[in-house]
Amino acid sequence: MIEIVYGAAEWQSIAPVGTLVLFAMGILLNEAFNGEKHDAQTPFWFSIAGLAAASAVSIYVWEDGSSAFGGVFTNDGVAMMTNLIACLAGGVSLAM
């Protein structure tokens, strides 16, 4: 049987995506339980904060060539730049 071990590299690899997912779940829960009918500002600013936090975490964990989950997930420059471009594109689409 294969032993599954989650170390610091695994948590570091999923940190940017995990941050964005946590913000998205928070926005959905806020809308489900506290959302006012015509309030568009609260989800907008939480979305911007989530994208900024994911970008900051991406910059913080930026390493050259670290891998996790047995080499399946890598934190190289291309992956981190893609994360930053995706967050920027999300911010631009929210601003439209």
Instruction: State residue 25's pLDDT score.
Output: 96
Runs of H (alpha helix) within the chain: 8-33, 41-60, 77-95
19 Cβ contact list (under 8 Å, min separation 6): 50, 53, 54, 57
Give per-residue pLDDT as tens, 39-79.
788 889 999 999 999 999 988 888 767 778 877 888 888 88
- Mean pLDDT, to the nearest integer, of 20-33? 92
* pLDDT score at 64: 66
What residues does each domain of the chain span? 16-95
**Per-residue pLDDT tens for 78-95?**
888 999 999 999 999 998
Question: What is the reported pLDDT for 87?
Answer: 93
